[in-house]
Amino acid sequence: MITQAKSILKETFGFDQFRPLQENVIKNVLEKKDTLVIMPTGGGKSLCYQIPAMLFDGLTIVVSPLISLMKDQVDQLTSYGIPAVVLNSSISDDLYRLNEQKVRSGQAKMLYVAPESLMTDRIRHLLTQVKVDCFTIDEAHCISEWGHDFRPDYRQLAEIRKDFPEAVCIGLTATATPRVREDIKEILEFRDASTFVASFDRENLFLNVVDKSGPVDQILDFLYTRKGQSGIIYCFSRRQTDELYQDLKDEGHSVRPYHAGLSEHQRETYQNAFIRDDIDIIVATVAFGMGIDKPDVRFVIHHDMPQNIESYYQQIGRAGRDGLRSDCLLLYSHSDRQKINYFINQKEGEEKEVAKKHLEDLINYLTTSDCRRIPLMEYFGETYNGNDCGMCDNCISMKDEMEDLTVAAQKFLSCIVRTDERFGATHITDILRGSKAKKVLENGHDELSTYGIGEEFSKDQWVQLSRLLVRKDFLTKDPKYGSLLLTDDARKVLKDEKRVTGVLDRTQTAIDGSAAARTSSDVENRYDENLFEELRKVRKDLAVQQDVAPYVIFPDTTLMEMAYYFPQSSETLTGIYGVGDAKQKKYGRDFLEVIKEYCEENNIEEREREIKKKTKKRSSSKKHVQIGEDYNNGKSLEHLAEEHGVKMPTILKHLKTFLEEGNDLRQDGILDASGLSQRKVDEVNQAMDKVGPELLKPVYEELNKSVGYSELRMMQLYYIAKNGS
């Protein structure tokens, strides 16, 4: 059965491997042994019952306390092609009857219900008519009075479960002390119980605590390089929430507030807007977050000190469920601490003692100069060994060192000069980092001497540097066009008469070697951001059409892989993370179309998967010479493509390099391969005379799109071979 589970993982969900514990849990459930699963948020609890549900003959019931989350889960399952339904008070009568019918007929494999609905006679009666194989209790800690979220309704699940003696029971939770764990098993009367506890270390969260000084500016700085990313900012009070919301809004951020002072309708609207990527940021009190299953929250900021480690951990846990690197920033001030102390002193007796202890633990976390994971994990009863996590400020520990940034500033400033002060920070950064973005190529900026001289900084760091230069009056922004303009001071920097010093956020160092790279993969660091943005638009359109959250279509990880591997066919698309059979059928075409068009326009080829690449790499260094010589000796282009197992554009690229190194190339074969008539060949030549042979897009436009890119690529080679470049 576990082999079947693995193929469901790949074919239905599109994932290559199980996460830690998933396989063991699934095995246990399939053997019909009651199972308790304790995993942090984002650990992958859902698959632990969704995969068995597909393998059991009968129905799997999933009890979950949050009605809002159920719809989301069922949407997701439907998108994977898994027949799941929900029965609760939020759906129309018609849909309710239809779903009941699906359960009765065995058409639905999974039923999501709230505990109070499960207790109704109507549902209890319905469930006597079907075979139930698995009884799942999500957020199982709600059953225990010792948990932080006890719900009396949950208590009665123990009785209900007796209705299905054949069913295996599985309980899942993200927070559970040993006391709560025992409680859950006892109350549910687990037989042959097995408990699986995953580590609570969330490796992909970058933990950062800084002294609070001018919090609004600190937050604006942080947000500056994170345009378009989803994030939550927690404040202590409603008033603070409203104020910060206003400040961010005034600065042009896409943001909404959330606190108990707003009407229920407003809160729901804002929460949905956040989930659906209609807005980027929520500024909120602790009231926000329950029932948020959004996997791509990229940061959580604490404007104020949290109440205790438990709630801090829960709040930062909402970031990075998808496993991608996410940032947790906490602004810490002594006066916040006094505020909390004040509240604690109003309490009495044991309650006061407990609160004091909690504060102590939290302060310990905030003020440690060791790895932050040590006190954090200790709090959850785990020992964190390893003294360099590479994912907290203390382990990176260069945060406050002023650096001499003169050389970097000179690169940046001279690049602005070379592009006539007509562009903004992103474009300058693209040039410095040697990007193949359309805008760079179209402007011929890949030919500037500053092209590709700035690989030592990540994109974010260059943008940060630009902000620093603006703040220190080396640059001003053209109010109308947003382009960056040099000041007199900047010219002094260029003449080596003035130095630039400052602090960049070193935690964002991309590319090889840095500690942070440990959890961010090659894909995460080097995907094509322009294509990624286009794919996000496709996703958003589909989501609106189908009335679901964008991540239900595909998570960010999937889009990133697409923008890294550039799959061109449905076969290679299946290899992408998160693309299972059903999603491939439903959305494959829409995404492939955009990827192909983008690749065509930017002359990009599909990237081979890593494993294959490694074995091939050795021989590739002088390949263009070999190909060039073979070609001159009479081999045809098609022959060479086949022989080397690559596509035509690759062969052409090699030949172009060969030419550019000063070698000659025979011209006859190229024209033949292009298949163009003499008249067309003349037209293309004329067009290239006019707009130059280097960039194909202008040639393409010049010819009114009458000749395709692949032919143009050949003609380009022919033209250069004939005329020299």
* Interface map 536-565 toward ligand ADP (x if CB under 6 A): -------------------x----------
Residue 392: which of ligand ADP, Zn ion, none does it interact with, CB under 5 to 8 A by kind? Zn ion
**Nearest distance, CB of residue 372 and Zn ion, angstroms:** 5
**Nearest distance, CB of residue 388 and ligand ADP, angstroms:** 26
**Nearest distance, CB of residue 207 and Zn ion, angstroms:** 7
Residue 395: which of ligand ADP, Zn ion, none does it interact with, CB under 5 to 8 A by kind? Zn ion
The three state secondary structure string of 241-284 is HHHHHHHHHHCCCCEEEECCCCCHHHHHHHHHHHHCCCCCEEEE
- Determine contact, residues 202/382, Cβ cutoff 8 Å: no
**Nearest distance, CB of residue 555 and ligand ADP, angstroms:** 5
Q: Which stretches within 514-620 are classed as H helix?
A: 522-526, 529-546, 550-553, 556-565, 570-574, 581-602, 610-616
Residue 73, helix vs strand vs coil = helix
Residue 45: which of ligand ADP, Zn ion, none does it interact with, CB under 5 to 8 A by kind? ligand ADP
Q: Which residues contact 261 (CB under 8 A, 6 or more apart)?
A: 238
- Determine contact, residues 63/115, Cβ cutoff 8 Å: yes
* Interface map 298-327 toward ligand ADP (x if CB under 6 A): -----------------------xx-----
Question: Would strands 484-486 and 475-477 be described as parallel, antiparallel, or unpaired?
Answer: antiparallel
- Determine contact, residues 608/646, Cβ cutoff 8 Å: no
Q: Which is nearer to Zn ion, 368 or 657 (CB)?
A: 368
Burial tier of 532 (Cβ tally within 10 Å: 0-12, 13-18, 19+): middle
**Nearest distance, CB of residue 47 and ligand ADP, angstroms:** 5
Residue 649: which of ligand ADP, Zn ion, none does it interact with, CB under 5 to 8 A by kind? none
User: What is the distance between the alpha carbons of residues 533 and 292, in angstroms, rounded to a whole number?
Assistant: 24
Q: Which is nearer to ligand ADP, 314 or 426 (CB)?
A: 314
Residue 469: which of ligand ADP, Zn ion, none does it interact with, CB under 5 to 8 A by kind? none
Q: Which is nearer to ligand ADP, 51 or 284 (CB)?
A: 51
Q: Which is nearer to Zn ion, 81 or 390 (CB)?
A: 390
**Nearest distance, CB of residue 483 and ligand ADP, angstroms:** 40
Q: Which is nearer to ligand ADP, 231 or 295 (CB)?
A: 295
Residue 371: which of ligand ADP, Zn ion, none does it interact with, CB under 5 to 8 A by kind? Zn ion
Q: Which is nearer to Zn ion, 506 or 526 (CB)?
A: 506
Alpha carbons within 13 A on the beta-carbon side of 316: 28
Q: Which residues contact 201 (CB under 8 A, 6 or more apart)?
A: 40, 373, 377, 382, 384
Binding of residue 71 to ligand ADP (CB under 6 A)? no
Among 15, 234, 312, 365, binds ligand ADP (CB under 6 A): 15
- Determine contact, residues 143/154, Cβ cutoff 8 Å: yes
Q: Which is nearer to Zn ion, 27 or 518 (CB)?
A: 518
User: How many residues make contact with ligand ADP (CB under 6 A)?
Assistant: 17
- Determine contact, residues 62/103, Cβ cutoff 8 Å: no
**Nearest distance, CB of residue 230 and ligand ADP, angstroms:** 14
**Nearest distance, CB of residue 499 and Zn ion, angstroms:** 32
Q: Which is nearer to ligand ADP, 45 or 298 (CB)?
A: 45
Residue 664 φ/ψ, nearest 5 degrees: -90, 160
Give the Cβ contact number of residue 312 at 10 Å. Answer: 22
First to last CA, the chain: 62
Residue 389: which of Zn ion, ligand ADP, none does it interact with, CB under 5 to 8 A by kind? Zn ion
Q: Which is nearer to Zn ion, 132 or 391 (CB)?
A: 391
- Determine contact, residues 453/411, Cβ cutoff 8 Å: yes
Token digits of residue 335: 């006066």
Q: Which is nearer to Zn ion, 115 or 320 (CB)?
A: 320
User: What is the distance between the alpha carbons of residues 222 and 216, in angstroms, rounded to a whole number?
Assistant: 10
* Interface map 16-55 toward ligand ADP (x if CB under 6 A): -xxx--x----------------x-xxxxxxx--------
Q: Which residues contact 226 (CB under 8 A, 6 or more apart)?
A: 298, 299
**Nearest distance, CB of residue 23 and ligand ADP, angstroms:** 9
Site of tokens 């008249």: 679
**Nearest distance, CB of residue 519 and ligand ADP, angstroms:** 14
Amino acid at 669: G
Residue 322: which of Zn ion, ligand ADP, none does it interact with, CB under 5 to 8 A by kind? ligand ADP
Instruction: Note the residues at the interface with Zn ion (CB under 5 A).
Output: 371, 389, 392, 395
User: Alpha carbon of 356 to those of 235, 261, 368: distances in Å?
Assistant: 21, 29, 18
Residues 101-120 that bind ligand ADP (CB under 6 A): none
**Nearest distance, CB of residue 23 and Zn ion, angstroms:** 29
Stretch near ligand ADP under the rule CB under 6 A, chosen from 12-20, 212-220, 595-603, 649-657: 12-20
Token digits of residue 546: 């189908």
**Nearest distance, CB of residue 136 and ligand ADP, angstroms:** 12
- Determine contact, residues 394/414, Cβ cutoff 8 Å: no
Residue 295: which of ligand ADP, Zn ion, none does it interact with, CB under 5 to 8 A by kind? ligand ADP
- Determine contact, residues 658/686, Cβ cutoff 8 Å: no
Residue 15: which of ligand ADP, Zn ion, none does it interact with, CB under 5 to 8 A by kind? ligand ADP
* Interface map 256-295 toward ligand ADP (x if CB under 6 A): ---------------------------------------x
Give the Cβ contact number of residue 724 at 10 Å. Answer: 9
Q: Which is nearer to ligand ADP, 77 or 437 (CB)?
A: 77
**Nearest distance, CB of residue 109 and ligand ADP, angstroms:** 17
- Determine contact, residues 301/233, Cβ cutoff 8 Å: yes
Interface with ligand ADP (CB under 6 A): 15, 17-19, 22, 39, 41-47, 295, 321-322, 555
